Copies of this chain bind each other. A is one copy, B any other.
């Protein structure tokens, strides 16, 4: 039954390192190192108050971002929740403007107005950055609707956390994507916890089964293994591009850090031991590194260079961000509306604004 098949496609490619060229593999490593160092830099910057508000790090989940976004075209769409820095990078958004957005600066992807939870870059097809759990799932159906409406062959990839499957928006959106056969891939970044709540406490069935009621093919993939994830996603994206309709993926992964900067890495909800075991055993970067070592496609020297490169890029990003000025105060009232109709008042705070009566 199509609605519930969990073909482990990628499994066939278990040792499928040979599917990828040495250059590709090095690219994977470079990318994931960049994501990792970027988030570590963000962590640093947050600690010294350069970044404020909520900041959700993606450390540990890099392979899911790279695996599902890497195979996409520039004109494909990606949309996500608030844990989206690395996904933006994966979709080709400049590290500089992402970091500047985290810093809340004029040079940021949203000019400093969005912040960590709202990274957008329309040119690269990165459509945010959304803070209401589950909301982006319906937005993704809408973008996929538009693709089909225009007869295009793009694909929309929508990331969500495991806890998002309990939102009504998830239910309504998946059903609509199913009845209208929309070109969208729903990727649940299943890190097994929503903040401090284990998924098993808020669902009677595993993540992969939560799409059974819609007639949407469901899949599971090891989201810590970039080779498996990429191979699986690359094929799936082409299927969807070819008209296979909506897909649902349980990408099993793990959050190495706390939910957000203010939350503990471990606590009552998950033990130190669990976190330690996971971070040691399932680090996507280390896993790739070791497989490349085994295949003698990488030596320590090269790795060091790659890492230095990544660190250099994020240092530059931080410098760029730091050098970028705060938004001009006049920006407070820009982008509220795209058009201020010639007639009538739009703002009721009675404040002075450039070009409007108080």
Please list the residues of chain A having a beta carbon within 8 angstroms of any beta carbon in chain B.
Answer: 3-4, 166-172, 175, 178-179, 201-205, 209-216
Contact = CB atoms under 8 A, between A and B. Distances in A.
A212 B3 contact: yes
B3 A205 contact: yes
Give the secondary structure class of A's interface: helix
| 7 closest residue pairs by CB, A with B | A168-B168, A171-B171, A204-B215, A212-B212, A178-B204, A213-B213, A205-B215
Contacts of A4: 212
A230 B171 CA distance: 31
A183 to B, nearest CB: 15
Contacts of A210: 213
A4 B4 CA distance: 11
A168 B201 CA distance: 20
A199 to B, nearest CB: 11
Name, among A3, A212, A213, A215, the residue most crowded by chain B CB atoms within 10 Å (CB to CB): A213
Nearest to A200: B179
A209 B210 CA distance: 12
A169 B171 CA distance: 9
Nearest to A215: B204
Contacts of A168: 167-169, 171-172
A205 B213 contact: yes
A216 B212 CA distance: 12
